[in-house]
Amino acid sequence: MRGRLDTFIEGMQGAASLDELQGQIIGLRDLFDVEHLVYHSVNAAGGQYAALTYPMDWVDRYLEQEYARIDPVVQGCYRRFHPVDWKRLDWSAKQARDFMGEAQSAGVGQQGFSVPIRGPNGQFALFTVSDRRTDPQWDKYTERHMRDLILAAHFVNQKALEIEHGTDETQVRALSPREVDALTMLAMGCSRAQAAESLSISEHTLRVYIESARFKLNASNTTHAVARALTLGLLVI
């Protein structure tokens, strides 16, 4: 998957319009082998952009009924920084259950995994994959692909910002050589224990380097920091 994802991301860099990005979203859905993939962004002024594979009848219905007000995925992710499986959200309200029933009837699928993204100047975005796999199948799928889904989410968001604003570039403080080493090891798929051992440092020291790099890169979490560093050309893999 990682090799194919890297190749896909390289191709996605050539997208010059939001319409072209929509085509890339379809390809990304096929790459991840899920039924649907959605990217939705809202900027601080309320401007919205979405690239998705849901049936348009369902999209029109969702907008017409203003379902974002009751959608547990939107409401739950807005209060989170970390990716979340839909099963962990609160579906106890009758409105939420009825909404999910209608979504499933429209072909959305009962399984989902969403990545909240907080970009520059108050931007908020969601990157979501959904499917009709069984619970055991979905648990196995998300465990296997979680890291790649998070990386893809941030690359798509950065590309959308670049298309919308002409650049996604923000001022970034230079990383130290040790911070670059730490992120490079993680980008290569090493665990923190493996990275610390390879760099001959303690896991505590590694964590200090990672958190410092995350702060400099204005990243919401470690995976976002790795994605930002890769996009900015700070890492050589």
| % residues pLDDT > 90 (the chain) | 54
Domain boundary among 165, 191, 223: 165
Q: If we measure between CA atoms, which residue out of 210, 217, 166 comes closest to residue 184?
A: 210
CB 77 within 8 A of CB 41: no
pLDDT given at position 15:
84
Q: What is the pLDDT of residues 97-138, one digit of tens each?
A: 999 999 999 999 999 999 998 877 778 899 999 999 999 999
User: Is pLDDT of 168 > 50?
Assistant: no
In this structure, what CATH number is given to the domain that contains residue 74?
A: 3.30.450.80
User: Is pLDDT of 43 > 80?
Assistant: no
Same domain, 136 and 197: no
Report the C-alpha gap between 229 and 226 in whole angstroms.
5
Same domain, 206 and 89: no
Quick check: is 170 in a domain?
A: no
Same domain, 105 and 184: no
User: Is pLDDT of 194 > 90?
Assistant: yes
Same domain, 68 and 103: yes
Kindly indicate the confidence band of residue 172, based on its pLDDT and cuts at 50, 70 and 90.
Answer: low
Same domain, 90 and 31: yes
In this structure, what CATH number is given to the domain that contains residue 210?
A: 1.10.10.10
Same domain, 27 and 93: yes
Structural domain including 104 reads 2-165
Query: What is the average pLDDT score of the chain?
Result: 88
Same domain, 28 and 133: yes
pLDDT given at position 166:
59
CB 68 within 8 A of CB 44: no
Kindly indicate the confidence band of residue 64, based on its pLDDT and cuts at 50, 70 and 90.
Answer: very high
DSSP, res 173: P
- Number of domains within the chain: 2
Report the C-alpha gap between 44 and 212 in whole angstroms.
27
Same domain, 117 and 204: no
pLDDT given at position 132:
95
Quick check: is 172 in a domain?
A: no
pLDDT given at position 220:
75
Report the C-alpha gap between 110 and 25 in whole angstroms.
20
CB 12 within 8 A of CB 24: yes
Same domain, 39 and 19: yes
User: Is pLDDT of 42 > 80?
Assistant: yes
pLDDT given at position 126:
94
Domain boundary among 120, 138, 165: 165
